[in-house]
Structure 1
Amino acid sequence: MHFDESGLLRRTDFGFELLGPGPAMHYASLHRRFDGIAVPTRHLLYVRIPDGTGTRESTSLAIDIEDAYFT
């Protein structure tokens, strides 16, 4: 997991089964506060190549969160 200087999650590396087994990079951004909790509202998933970098030309999965609440 990779965090920025303020402690917000920015990147997670992991394996995934979405497009077949393989390494992936999950980028989290556009953090907003909901009920006082910082939540990344944009999530982008890219395939990671063997040297540890990503192929950012093609997004494998994109999720944008518009609202959240905690109970």
Structure 2
Amino acid sequence: MTYPEDIDTHSETQRYYFDDSGLLRRMDYQPAVNGDTPVAHYVSDEIEVGGLIVPTRRRIRIRQEDGTPDLSWTPITLDLADVRVR
């Protein structure tokens, strides 16, 4: 997907991957804030909060030149707990 310049995003062009049930599993993009390094951003471990499905685990990996993620290390990890909707 390509976003217009007036919408703030990680990068103008992003690719989304969904599973068979329609849940987002991965996003590929090149954030300008880190020098346009290509990344694969994985989301998982969903919980239901206030009727919303919220992924609680995020892992961001660097993508190699051929587009595959470098699985040897994970530079950014995020685990959410005690999620609430107001």
Tell me by how many angstroms 1:70 deviates. 2.1
Query: Structure 1, unaligned stretches of length 5 or more?
Result: none
Which of structure 1's runs of 4+ aligned residues deviate more than 6 A?
A: none
Comparing both structures, which one devotes a greater share of its residues to strand? Answer: 1
Relative to the length of structure 2, the TM-score reads 0.75
Residue 46 of structure 1 is matched in structure 2 by 61
Relative to the length of structure 1, the TM-score reads 0.89
Query: Structure 2, unaligned stretches of length 5 or more?
Result: 1-15
For the residue of structure 2 that corresponds to 1:22, the secondary structure is coil
For the residue of structure 1 that corresponds to 2:60, the secondary structure is strand
1:15 aligns with 2:30: yes
Tell me by how many angstroms 1:50 deviates. 1.5
Task: Quote the RMSD (CA, aligned, Å).
Answer: 1.2
For the residue of structure 1 that corresponds to 2:41, the secondary structure is strand
For the residue of structure 1 that corresponds to 2:30, the secondary structure is strand
* Identity between Structure 1 and Structure 2 (%): 37
CA distance in 2, matches of 1:42, 1:14: 18
Q: Greater relative contact order: 1 or 2 (C-alpha under 8 angstroms, separation 6 or more)? A: 1
Query: Which protein has the larger Cα radius of gyration, Structure 1 or Structure 2?
Result: 2
Matched ranges for 1:1-71 at <5 A = 1-16=16-31, 17-18=33-34, 20-71=35-86
Q: How many matched pairs?
A: 70
